[in-house]
Chain A
Amino acid sequence: MSLMTIEQRLALNTYEVDTEPHIRLKEEICRQCERQSCLYVCPAECFKAREGKISFNHEGCLECGSCHISCSREAIEWSYPRGHFGVSYEYG
């Protein structure tokens, strides 16, 4: 089996994307962060680093909670999406 990109992986799931993000990033805190654990622990790669700046997009989120547990600077305001919204699994 050939390697899959994260986009291909996420495209296998069904999402009902809320316009209101359920996770918010205090980007000003990230500017001082060296560890940047979120880049490694997020299984959906919702966190991206561009020119040293961290950005976040909630759309592909798998709702696991890894990011807020791993961020030692409390830069992440975390919750599950509102009822109905977010990822749906067909198998699970």
Chain B
Amino acid sequence: MKERFDAIVVGGGPAGCAAAYTLAKGGLAVLLVERGRFAGVKNMTGGVLYGPVLHDLIPEFWKEAPVERHVSRHVITFLSEKTSVSIDFNSAGLDQPLYDGFTVLRARFDRWFADKVEQAGGVVITGVRVDDLLWDGQRVVGIVAGGDRIPAEVVIAADGVNSVMAGKAGLGVKLSPENVNQGVKEVIKMRREVIEERFNVAGDGGAAMHFLGFCTRGVHGGGFLYTNKESLSLGVVVQLQALIENNLKSVELLEGFKAHPAVRELIKGGTTVEYSAHLVPAGGLRMVPRLYTDGLLVTGDAAALVLATGRALEGLNFALASGMAAAETVKLAKAKGDFSKETLSQYEKLLAESFVLRDLKKFEQSADFLENQRLYSLYPGLACSLAEKIFRVDGKPKKTVWQLAREEMKGKVSLWQLLRDGLAARRTI
């Protein structure tokens, strides 16, 4: 490698590919290093890429990217042991550009994105793990990978949740069982027609379903089910601490989730073809470390830039946006010929102006709210038993919904507590 790189990007996930693509497009000499045999081969996500961020970088990306289905139906389901209550949102508006979100499978999506980086003039090396940073005093000046020392003006750490690069630069996120959730997922193969009929979606439309309650046996976490073209992505996400405290294994929760009457019928006849696991930072803004130092910027999961609101998990769009902001900052630094932290501080300014830090700030209280055990154990069960009473015709004199609700709550939660939780939810969901 004779070329002298302006920037080296560590990691070929959405953050790294977005950064490298932006830099290559801008005419900078950029190297992307990915440890997997190809980009995406190590990666897993639940699966919805939300929002129009990628459209800003690659207009109408859905026409060329290997996306699965656009989300045309959102469902939130509360589960008790045997019953379920759902909120089902269908909209024709979700069926048109700009779409609301797309389900993706990472081994395909990331690979496509890394190819785009190459096409734009970036150098992509796969199958190589970056082991260390190169230093000149207090300044990062390159990487060490596969025994080679590769210099560059700046390094962008996009190496995901267990970021070794950020750690080496002293910017690492303090990961603990309380602020990290574990996701386990199955990809279940299913015929296209079956998916469309069963999930009530047409063409390339798809369903994004989130579950709360019995899917995690009432502990901190939730379940998900997304439709792909010819498969389903099904999984549970649980706080590590909840597993430890309750002597639970995610895979047992996953089996229980699959066996629940509300889920069993949806996956019937499908064949499991993959089992994967991955962590996701879930501590919100207070978990976000210092984002830059001399010669280094931290992006995506490596910087814990993930929004967990209890409604959904958004990390892909945050990874993309932070990768793009890091690249814009590097372009500015290149123009000035100055890669010091003073210049790189522009990165934080860009993030503060965009949805990335704004949303994290807005939902700053979410992490605390999501600690509330009642959210996973009490309320899903209440919703189910209340619905059962409302809908069951048992020949006895009818009561109003309000009377039934009061009866259900009795001894389980006080009106005052419910009100307080409701108010907190208003600020955090």
When distances are taken between beta carbons in the complex, the residues of chain A under 8 Å from B180 are 66, 69
Q: Decide yes or no whether A52 CB sits under 8 A from chain B.
A: no
- Please tell me if the beta carbons of B244 and A35 are within 8 angstroms of each other in the complex: yes
- Please tell me if the beta carbons of B240 and A92 are within 8 angstroms of each other in the complex: no
- Please tell me if the beta carbons of A37 and B177 are within 8 angstroms of each other in the complex: yes
Min CB gap B65→A, angstroms: 14
- Please tell me if the beta carbons of A66 and B240 are within 8 angstroms of each other in the complex: yes
- Please tell me if the beta carbons of B177 and A79 are within 8 angstroms of each other in the complex: no
B residues 124-181 touching A (CB-CB < 8 Å): 126-129, 145-146, 161-162, 164, 175-177, 180
When distances are taken between beta carbons in the complex, the residues of chain B under 8 Å from A81 are 35, 129
- Please tell me if the beta carbons of B129 and A82 are within 8 angstroms of each other in the complex: yes
Which of A1, A40, A80, A91 makes the CB contact (< 8 A) with B249?
A40
When distances are taken between beta carbons in the complex, the residues of chain B under 8 Å from A89 are 40-44, 106-107, 274, 276
Min CB gap A86→B, angstroms: 7
Closest to B267 in A: A1
Q: Decide yes or no whether B182 CB sits under 8 A from chain A.
A: yes
Closest to B276 in A: A89
Chain A window 44-76, contacts with chain B (Cβ cutoff 8 Å), 1 for yes, 0 for no: 110000000000000000111110011000000
- Please tell me if the beta carbons of B272 and A4 are within 8 angstroms of each other in the complex: yes
Q: Decide yes or no whether B278 CB sits under 8 A from chain A.
A: yes
- Please tell me if the beta carbons of A69 and B177 are within 8 angstroms of each other in the complex: yes
Which of A3, A9, A44, A84 makes the CB contact (< 8 A) with B127?
A84
- Please tell me if the beta carbons of B105 and A92 are within 8 angstroms of each other in the complex: yes
B residues 4-22 touching A (CB-CB < 8 Å): none
Q: Which of B52-60, B115-123, B250-258, B350-358 contacts A (4 or more CB under 8 A)?
A: B250-258
Which of A40, A45, A64, A83 makes the CB contact (< 8 A) with B247?
A40
> Chain B contact residues: over half helix, strand or loop, or mixed?
mixed
Chain B window 14-50, contacts with chain A (Cβ cutoff 8 Å), 1 for yes, 0 for no: 0000000000000000000001110011111100000
Closest to A63 in B: B42
Q: Decide yes or no whether A87 CB sits under 8 A from chain B.
A: yes
When distances are taken between beta carbons in the complex, the residues of chain A under 8 Å from B164 are 79-80
- Please tell me if the beta carbons of A66 and B182 are within 8 angstroms of each other in the complex: yes
Chain B window 195-220, contacts with chain A (Cβ cutoff 8 Å), 1 for yes, 0 for no: 00000000000000000000000000
Q: Decide yes or no whether B279 CB sits under 8 A from chain A.
A: yes
- Please tell me if the beta carbons of A64 and B187 are within 8 angstroms of each other in the complex: no
When distances are taken between beta carbons in the complex, the residues of chain A under 8 Å from B36 are 88
Closest to B68 in A: A91
Closest to B105 in A: A91
> Can you list 30 A-B pairs with a CB-CB distance of less than 8 A?
A1-B267, A3-B255, A4-B255, A6-B251, A9-B251, A40-B249, A41-B177, A41-B240, A43-B249, A44-B277, A62-B276, A62-B278, A64-B278, A66-B240, A66-B277, A69-B175, A69-B176, A69-B177, A70-B244, A81-B35, A83-B35, A83-B129, A83-B146, A86-B42, A89-B40, A89-B43, A90-B107, A91-B231, A92-B108, A92-B110
Q: Which 4 A-B pairs have the closest CB atoms?
A: A92-B106, A92-B107, A43-B277, A9-B275
Residues of chain B whose beta carbon lies under 8 Å from any beta carbon of chain A: 35-37, 40-45, 105-110, 126-129, 145-146, 161-162, 164, 175-177, 180, 182, 184, 187, 231, 233, 240, 243-244, 247-251, 255, 258, 264, 267-268, 270, 272-279
